[in-house]
Structure 1
Amino acid sequence: MVGKFVKAHGDLGHLKWAVKLFHQVRERELGDCLFSYNALLGVLVKANMVSHAWGYFGHIVIKSRVVNPDVSTYTTMIKGLCKIGMIDDAEKLFDEMSCVKNLMTYNVIIDGFCKKGFVEKAQRVVNEMVGNEACLPDIVSYTTLMDGYCKKGEFEKAMRCFHEMVSRKNCEPNVLTYNVLINGLCSNGDVDEAKRMMSKMRLSGVRDNIATHTSLLKGYCIAGRSNEAIKHFKEMVNLGMSLDGKPYAVIINEYSKLGRPDEGVVLLKEMRGKGIKPSLASFNALLRSFIKLREFDKAILLLKQMPRMGCYPNFLSYSEVIIGFLEVKGRMQEVEMLVSEMIQNGHSLDTTLYSSLINAYCISGDISKAVWFFKEMIGERIVIRNDCFEVFVKEMCSRGLVLEVENLFNQMRENCLMSDVETYQSVLNECLCGNGDL
């Protein structure tokens, strides 16, 4: 009963109360608190506090031996270790279990191995299960293993696994199983084979879903069959499928690549009308496309519309537009407004943006602002790109600001971590020599 209260506190996010309640029970029950202990481990693992769970496991189970761990204890801890990528520790714990493993234990370690790309180890675990009549692999075991093979591009092994699964009793593939295979084929651009797999799926009485069709959309795009992807998407809409943001994101990204961002914006508005939140990646793809097409006004309009459409610009959003505008004469005022807005929204300039701004100000003849941004870079301990440094030095020298540029270089060398000082020094010396100062 107490274990349920510990879990309830954890589910509500009251982790301190969950821990406090566990310790109270531990003192009162004098070690007979296995269920409470397992509940606490589950709460900590779910909250991504795996190191804390590992600490409790080490102290209470290994060191103090307050409780004798059961299969649930081990499975929860193995799941947590897999969750944070500590697969070696998870494997060691799995091998050293002092109790009989159950199906969930096996499936947790199979999933952990596959997520780290150790599919052969996962296969060995499945083979071990096949030889264990008391705990045969189930649909989750096989589907996880197939997904691991597909992600490594080993589709033949995935299909071998599929055939082994269907040959077993009470292990019929479900929509997740078929989707794993269809997605694997589509990721390789083999969309025709994926469609045949979908037909097989339907003949088996398994109904396809949005994830199935989203994989097909990706497959068409990867295969360079954009028109078929767009056609398939429109068919999905016309059939009244309850779409989420993923199929929209695939087609918006494809419109962006095709240089048809206006059609992508139409889809964004359609999504808004249906209450579907667009992804940040979709906006950034469209911004990049507008900039590439030199449709700068459309890019800045979309950037300003983003918050109203439920998505705030990130660093990449601003960076794409700012760098695009820097290539156009007479737009520096808009650039300054964007930079100011970007900083106000909590984003910092990086090497590329600082360097590009300094370069643009030098080209436009506004050396005072170029110097201001150069000093800002030094203050942030960021080193200007070498090509932009050369433009800056030449512009400074052409204006007779030789001592000033030498001073700025020395400040940069003293305050910033420069891996190739000699290259920058060489650029400076060459410009000074050409200016007659050496």
Structure 2
Amino acid sequence: MALWAIKCSISPYNNGIHSEVPLNTPNRFNTQQPLRRSPPAIHTSRRKKKRNFSSLKILTPKPPNNRDTDLVFYSRRLYMLCKNAQVDEAIRLLRSMEDNKGLVPDTVTYNVLINALCRDGQLELGLLLLGEMQDKGCTPTVITYTTLIHGFCEAGRLEYALKLLDLMRSKEIGITPTTVTCTALIQGLCAQGELKRALDLLNQMKSMGPNCAPNELTYKKLIHGLCQEGLHELGVELLHEMVQRGFRPDEITSSALIRGLCQSGAFLRAALFVSEMVYAGVQLDLATYGCLLDALCKVGEAALVRDTIRLMCERDVALDSSAYSGLIQRLCDKGMVDEAVGLKEEMRRKGIDPNSVAYTSLVDGLRQAGKNDHVLELVHEMESKGLQPVGNILKVLFQSFYS
């Protein structure tokens, strides 16, 4: 029995702790002992801890000795270098794959490199790669030429871009340009003020087939170029042609034409064009309407001013107190007081309170029109709302009444 007790005392199940309870104690097994805890389970996960690799380090291991696999490997690495604007490193890798591996890059690889060179401004090197492609039997595509044409247009070197266009359309190459190609050229020509050549190219696009037909962007670039040169009437004609081809004009293009027409003095043409665009579904902003109202006020077209304001209300143009005040001030400055008073009444119907600028403009406009009774009513209305007149209008009123 004693031997058994000693063995129990060093048993691994009691963690090597010798029990002080005598073996002959009746309630020996009821004595509260500290709970024995089993050792924590060891969980082995098959998922390895993630490591942070750069996009280039992923491609560091040597690929298998297979020419197709090698070409894919190097093409991906070239793409990543170009994407990270490491163009010089990409060129060195291109020479390395040719010298050490004997690999010939394909068209996609050359296009990626030429695009990166054009974005980096290395246009001559891009042309050298174009010649290298042809020497090695790698056929350039429309993407190759479009990339180079766009790069030269962005750099303002239009003659090179036009020569590339002629080259790709020649019998030796026989590549038909696309809409993207010609639109890039039109944008470059407009930026240099070569509008006649841009219009000629637009006419050529219409006969080059469906892949080179002018699209919405083509017309917009040309219309903005015409507006910059003051040829707004021609821009309106192009916009009508654009609509006939099924393209919808946007707010920016329409506003540019309206502003241009107003600045050139074609007020009636601008008002008619606004009506056309509004009923075509174009949402014009407040600044464009304000430009038209300024132009109409200068020539005293009160009827057109009222029609424009009514059109703004019908189209739910967002007008707050400041916007209404600006319109009232424009009308009063041009002597169109009745229209200004009508705007104030419209503000009242909409629950918009005129501010001090609106009241001051109305007071001064009514004073100049000789409507002194209305002037005093407006002054009392201002005082009841706790508004102070802007400038020295009270002094002017005093001199007007008592001089």
Scaled by the length of structure 1, what TM-score is found? 0.58
Write the mapping of 1:217-236 to structure 2, written as runs, cut at 5 A. Answer: 217-236=114-133
- Provide Cα deviations, 1:205-225, integer angstroms capped at 9, x if missing partner: 433111122222122223232
Q: Shift in Å at residue 290 of structure 1?
A: 0.9
In the alignment, the residues of structure 2 paired with residue 307 and residue 377 of structure 1 have an alpha-carbon distance, to the nearest angstrom, of 25
In the alignment, the residues of structure 1 paired with residue 159 and residue 90 of structure 2 have an alpha-carbon distance, to the nearest angstrom, of 30
In the alignment, the residues of structure 1 paired with residue 152 and residue 285 of structure 2 have an alpha-carbon distance, to the nearest angstrom, of 33
Letter in 1 for 2:143: K
In the alignment, the residues of structure 2 paired with residue 422 and residue 378 of structure 1 have an alpha-carbon distance, to the nearest angstrom, of 24
1:425–1:230 CA distance, 2 compared to 1 (3 A) = farther
Letter in 2 for 1:280: T
In the alignment, the residues of structure 1 paired with residue 110 and residue 188 of structure 2 have an alpha-carbon distance, to the nearest angstrom, of 25
1:205–1:345 CA distance, 2 compared to 1 (3 A) = same
My pick for the range that moved more, 420-429 or 272-281, is: 420-429
Q: Is the contact between residue 291 and residue 321 of structure 1 (CA under 8 Å) also seen in structure 2? A: yes
1:343–1:351 CA distance, 2 compared to 1 (3 A) = same
- Provide Cα deviations, 1:37-71, integer angstroms capped at 9, x if missing partner: xxxxxxxxxxxxxxxxxxxxxxxxxxxxxxxxxxx
Letter in 2 for 1:215: V
My pick for the range that moved more, 231-240 or 243-252, is: 231-240
- Provide Cα deviations, 1:259-301, integer angstroms capped at 9, x if missing partner: 1223222222322233323232222221111111111101111
In the alignment, the residues of structure 2 paired with residue 426 and residue 299 of structure 1 have an alpha-carbon distance, to the nearest angstrom, of 43
Q: Is the contact between residue 287 and residue 317 of structure 1 (CA under 8 Å) also seen in structure 2? A: yes
1:298 to 197, 201, 226: 197
1:170–1:367 CA distance, 2 compared to 1 (3 A) = closer
Q: Shift in Å at residue 404 of structure 1?
A: 2.9
RMSD: 2.9
Write the mapping of 1:177-216 to structure 2, written as runs, cut at 5 A. Answer: 177-202=73-98, 203-216=100-113
Q: Is the contact between residue 383 and residue 412 of structure 1 (CA under 8 Å) also seen in structure 2? A: no
Q: Shift in Å at residue 324 of structure 1?
A: 1.4
Write the mapping of 1:358-397 to structure 2, written as runs, cut at 5 A. Answer: 358-397=258-297
In the alignment, the residues of structure 2 paired with residue 170 and residue 328 of structure 1 have an alpha-carbon distance, to the nearest angstrom, of 59
Return 5+ residue gaps in structure 2 as ranges.
1-45, 338-361, 363-403
**1:431 aligned to 2:330?**
yes
Letter in 1 for 2:255: S
In the alignment, the residues of structure 2 paired with residue 299 and residue 424 of structure 1 have an alpha-carbon distance, to the nearest angstrom, of 40
1:257–1:169 CA distance, 2 compared to 1 (3 A) = closer
In the alignment, the residues of structure 1 paired with residue 102 and residue 319 of structure 2 have an alpha-carbon distance, to the nearest angstrom, of 64
Letter in 2 for 1:261: L
Q: Shift in Å at residue 383 of structure 1?
A: 3.0
Q: Secondary structure at the match of 2:60?
A: helix
Q: Shift in Å at residue 162 of structure 1?
A: 2.0
- Provide Cα deviations, 1:147-192, integer angstroms capped at 9, x if missing partner: xxxxxxx9x62333223473x7989833233212102211222122
2:138 to 241, 263, 269: 241
Q: Is the contact between residue 286 and residue 318 of structure 2 (CA under 8 Å) also seen in structure 1? A: no
1:347 to 229, 243, 247: 247
In the alignment, the residues of structure 2 paired with residue 271 and residue 211 of structure 1 have an alpha-carbon distance, to the nearest angstrom, of 18
1:229–1:236 CA distance, 2 compared to 1 (3 A) = same
In the alignment, the residues of structure 2 paired with residue 420 and residue 178 of structure 1 have an alpha-carbon distance, to the nearest angstrom, of 60
1:415 alignment counterpart: 315
**1:309 aligned to 2:208?**
yes
In the alignment, the residues of structure 1 paired with residue 157 and residue 174 of structure 2 have an alpha-carbon distance, to the nearest angstrom, of 24
In the alignment, the residues of structure 2 paired with residue 319 and residue 402 of structure 1 have an alpha-carbon distance, to the nearest angstrom, of 33
2:169 alignment counterpart: 272
In the alignment, the residues of structure 1 paired with residue 270 and residue 244 of structure 2 have an alpha-carbon distance, to the nearest angstrom, of 21
**1:175 aligned to 2:71?**
yes
In the alignment, the residues of structure 2 paired with residue 314 and residue 193 of structure 1 have an alpha-carbon distance, to the nearest angstrom, of 38
Larger Rg: 2
1:172–1:357 CA distance, 2 compared to 1 (3 A) = closer
1:170–1:291 CA distance, 2 compared to 1 (3 A) = closer
Q: Secondary structure at the match of 2:69?
A: coil
1:379–1:172 CA distance, 2 compared to 1 (3 A) = closer
2:352 alignment counterpart: none
1:306–1:421 CA distance, 2 compared to 1 (3 A) = farther
Scaled by the length of structure 2, what TM-score is found? 0.63
1:336–1:158 CA distance, 2 compared to 1 (3 A) = closer
Q: Secondary structure at the match of 1:157?
A: coil
In the alignment, the residues of structure 1 paired with residue 287 and residue 295 of structure 2 have an alpha-carbon distance, to the nearest angstrom, of 13
Letter in 1 for 2:304: E
In the alignment, the residues of structure 1 paired with residue 97 and residue 225 of structure 2 have an alpha-carbon distance, to the nearest angstrom, of 47
1:325 to 207, 218, 226: 226
Q: By percentage of residues, which structure has more helix?
A: 1
How many residue pairs match? The answer is 285
1:259 alignment counterpart: 156
- Provide Cα deviations, 1:227-280, integer angstroms capped at 9, x if missing partner: 322333244345553111121111101110111223222222322233323232
In the alignment, the residues of structure 2 paired with residue 163 and residue 174 of structure 1 have an alpha-carbon distance, to the nearest angstrom, of 12
Q: Is the contact between residue 378 and residue 412 of structure 1 (CA under 8 Å) also seen in structure 2? A: no
1:370–1:317 CA distance, 2 compared to 1 (3 A) = same
Q: Is the contact between residue 288 and residue 321 of structure 1 (CA under 8 Å) also seen in structure 2? A: yes
Q: Secondary structure at the match of 2:175?
A: coil
Seq. identity, %: 26
